[in-house]
Amino acid sequence: MQQKERTYKMEDDNKYIRFDWAAKRMLRDKANFGVLEGLITVLLNEPVHIIEILESESNQEDYDDKYNRVDIKARDSKGDIIIVEIQQARELYYLERVLYGVAKTITEHISLGEKYDKVSKVYSISILYFDLGQGADYLYHGQTSLVGVHTKDTLKITSRDKGFIKIKTPKEIFPEYFIIRVNEFNKVAKTPLEEWIDYLKNGHIKEDTKAPGLQEARQKLQYLKMNKAERKAYDRHIDNIMVQNDVLDTAKLEGLEEGRAEGRAEGTRGRPN
């Protein structure tokens, strides 16, 4: 009996809050910026320092919100804007909405009459818990580049910044997109990126992790550090997600079965008497 109690205690000690819950309620606090900075640093492969959280759309708290997306919009020390979005449920026109969200962000953060040099670079990071499209990887990255059709060179733009001539590439100006397909990750985590995806999918964080942001997550996102009311709300959130996933899986299976039945019926009708 004591052995079982010790096992449960160890499991609770190593139980970490899901990232979507933390993003909704905890990572917007300046004291917890280090967790979010770590994920972005790993993806961009350069240090990122968030200076403020900007107003974002999907922060509802009602029961129906179990099907929601969660997003954080932040500005870093370079003035770039980072959108981090966590999506649980399938959405038919997801990429179109991501594009719209980035375009809207760009226009929202430049005042009427300002010069276009005030346009912010935007990074869009989508953490998806549903199967988007067909592909073998768990991480996809895309950006706009302007390449010579015949020469294959990359176009560079000359601009003036604070009296100095500056050369920019499209990469420095146009948005970048990261799609993390969490369900496709099935590896033993060895790199900082893999450790992050392992946490996003399975809630695992190594005790000796050196991945940026995950040591902070170990300290600040422990289940046992929540009070009783917070744990109750969190457990309800997890239950809602499980119900939602079960409903979606059932609908998918029923759709497949209906398709097979229709196919069999069509085949029967097509046979000669």
Position 266 scores a pLDDT of 62
Position 7 scores a pLDDT of 37
Asked if 214 and 198 count as a contact pair (C-beta separation under 8 A), the reply is no
Position 1 scores a pLDDT of 46
Residue 130 DSSP symbol? S
Position 80 scores a pLDDT of 95
Position 64 scores a pLDDT of 45
Asked if 123 and 101 count as a contact pair (C-beta separation under 8 A), the reply is no
Q: Read off the pTM.
A: 0.77
Asked if 36 and 72 count as a contact pair (C-beta separation under 8 A), the reply is yes
Position 25 scores a pLDDT of 84
Whole-angstrom distance, CA of residue 248 vs CA of residue 205: 29
Asked if 158 and 166 count as a contact pair (C-beta separation under 8 A), the reply is yes
For 70, residues 6+ apart whose C-beta sits below 8 A from its C-beta are 20, 23, 24, 58, 59, 85, 86
Give me the residues paired with residue 61 across strands: none
Name residues of the chain where pLDDT drops below 50: 1-13, 60, 62-67
Asked if 197 and 182 count as a contact pair (C-beta separation under 8 A), the reply is yes
Position 214 scores a pLDDT of 95
Whole-angstrom distance, CA of residue 264 vs CA of residue 260: 6
Burial of residue 175, with CB atoms counted within 10 A of its CB: 0-12 exposed, 13-18 middle, 19 or more buried: buried
Q: Where are the extended beta strands (E) located within the chain?
A: 50-54, 69-76, 81-87, 122-128, 139-143, 157-161, 164-168, 176-181
Residue 41 parent element (H or E): helix 33-44
